[in-house]
A and B are shown apart, each in its own frame.
Chain A
Amino acid sequence: MQAIAYQSAKSIDEAVSVLRQWGERARVLSGGTDLIAQLREGRRHDVEVVLDIKSIPEARELRYSPGQGLYLGAAVPCYRIYEDAAIARAYPALADSAALIGGIQIQSRAAIGGNLCNASPAADAIPSLIALGATCEIAGPNGRRTLPVEQFCIGPGRSALEQNEFLVALRLPSPAAQSGSCFLRFIPRNEMDIAVANAAVALTLNPAKDRITAARVAIGAVAPTPLLVPEAAAALIGAPLTEATLERAAEAARAAARPITDMRGSIAQRRHLARVLTRRAIESAIQRAKES
């Protein structure tokens, strides 16, 4: 691999000024589980500076309160999410994602923010972020802005970040009472593989726990970017918790999928998986909401 410079920023302003100075030649480093592997495999000849954001307080902070929701710094590694019992209980789909990205070694380093910024169509954290209604906090030369997470990925490996911007943090709203969420993926082995398809569901039940009052459904690895599927949510909201309701929502996810055939799976298999995973994730989210 080419020679690079390593810089560790201590503040958001310092990071932005390094990005301004180096432009396209700088890449942000969170856990490095994508970036360092890509650099070492010679797939990133354009990079001259690696900008480590792990020393920026706002990027390493993880904070949850039932009133304020979750503040998830962009560089917080996966293990901190599933090892925090309160966070794992409030955002089970996010904890599901964090616990199955790579193995233990990867989870020590890989950040949810890094997973999002890498913008892989098959990324395992992005459907959960979409289902849970996350908002991106972005910093750049023109100050700060926010963006709903479902607008962040614009193509395979491409995000809505403008030149010299970086992701500082994600914010997730507090779940309402009687809420549950779930993330599922299909891979041919038990651990350590890239999703053939994945799905996340977050929903809220009425006090009698027999109707869904709010829902968000997202699917991944079945389109150029992870997708929010409003039609699936619409099939759930207000409808009775019957077999027919669940099937309508799962069918909406299948219909929204626009997959390709590659070495991991075919179009037909991926459409089928979008349906089955969505259906199972809804059932699990309902179960979790009932137990919450």
Chain B
Amino acid sequence: MSERVQIQATINGEPVQFLAEPRQSLLEALRDELGMTGAKEGCGNGNCGACNVILDGRLVDSCIVLAAEVEGRLLTTIEGIAQGNHLHPLQQAFLEEAALQCGVCTPGFIVAAKALLDRTPHPTEDQVRHWLAGNLCRCTGYDKIVRAVLRASESTEANA
């Protein structure tokens, strides 16, 4: 068992310090060390997107990032998407479009879609489908997810 190392990062706007083993992925550190269980482990190897977080403004699969790599960096997780009790327009649209069934993929899709709308506030359906190609859902068949993202992109708040 190797030494745990101390890591400092800014997570959802808050400075955070935690200990992690160098072999731990960022996903494991979030879930097991920080108790932030919103990001899910689907595949654990970069194929499904359930673990998506935004790292220094870029969408990444946290299962294939080492926790030690995020020293000094800025992270946004699914826990940082809502403003207190006020759901983000993407979250609202997922509810209204019934864009989830089991829900395991949902945090990843919402974080991924947030990263898209941050860059492209009014994407076309093609852009949405292309952007979300790294996120898998075994339940919905994707149509409702795509509709929800397009619906959220029509609300001005989504782009605030």
B residues lining the A interface (CB < 8 Å): 1-3, 5, 21-23, 25, 44-47, 49, 52, 55, 58-61, 63-66, 68-69, 71, 112, 115, 130-131, 133-135
Whether A192 contacts B47 in the complex (CB less than 8 A), given A3-B23, A39-B23, comes out as yes
Report the bound CA distance from A37 to B47 in whole Å: 10
A4-B22 in contact (CB<8A): yes
Query: What is the distance, in angstroms, from B105's C-beta to the closest C-beta of chain A?
Result: 13
**In the complex, which residues 1-15 of chain A have their Cβ closer than 8 Å to any Cβ of chain B?**
1-6, 8
A32-B2 in contact (CB<8A): no
1/0 contact string of A1-42 vs chain B (CB within 8 Å): 111111010000000000000000000010011001101110
Which of A36, A52, A79, A102 has the most chain B CB atoms inside 10 A of its CB?
Answer: A36
A105-B1 in contact (CB<8A): no
B2-A108 in contact (CB<8A): no
**B22 contacts across to A, CB distance below 8 A:** 3-6, 50
**A109 contacts across to B, CB distance below 8 A:** 58, 60-61, 64-65
**A106 contacts across to B, CB distance below 8 A:** 46, 61, 134
Report the bound CA distance from A32 to B66 in whole Å: 8
Q: With A37-B46, A40-B63, A102-B46 given, name 6 new contacts (CB 8 A).
A: A4-B22, A6-B5, A52-B69, A77-B58, A105-B112, A108-B55
Report the bound CA distance from A192 to B60 in whole Å: 15
A residues lining the B interface (CB < 8 Å): 1-6, 8, 29, 32-33, 36-37, 39-41, 50, 52, 54, 77, 79, 102-106, 108-109, 190-192
**B71 contacts across to A, CB distance below 8 A:** 8
**A190 contacts across to B, CB distance below 8 A:** 133
Query: In the complex, how many residue pairs between chain A and chain B have their CB atoms under 8 Å apart?
Result: 87
Report the bound CA distance from A270 to B23 in whole Å: 39
Report the bound CA distance from A166 to B44 in whole Å: 27
A40-B47 in contact (CB<8A): no
Q: Which residue of A lies closest to B49 (CB)?
A: A105
Report the bound CA distance from A77 to B57 in whole Å: 14
Query: What is the distance, in angstroms, from A244's C-beta to the closest C-beta of chain B?
Result: 37
Contact of A108 (CB < 8 Å), options: B23, B59, B63, B135: B59
Q: Which residue of A lies closest to B21 (CB)?
A: A3
Q: Which residue of A lies closest to B47 (CB)?
A: A192
Q: Which residue of A lies closest to B53 (CB)?
A: A105
Query: What is the distance, in angstroms, from B15's C-beta to the closest C-beta of chain A?
Result: 20
B61-A40 in contact (CB<8A): no
Whether A104 contacts B46 in the complex (CB less than 8 A), given A2-B23, A4-B2, comes out as no
| CB-defined A-B contacts under 8 Å, sample of 24 | A2-B23, A3-B21, A4-B2, A6-B22, A6-B68, A8-B71, A32-B65, A36-B64, A36-B65, A37-B46, A39-B23, A40-B44, A54-B69, A103-B49, A104-B59, A104-B112, A104-B133, A105-B46, A105-B134, A106-B46, A108-B60, A109-B65, A191-B134, A192-B134
Whether A3 contacts B1 in the complex (CB less than 8 A), given A36-B25, A104-B131, A108-B55, comes out as yes
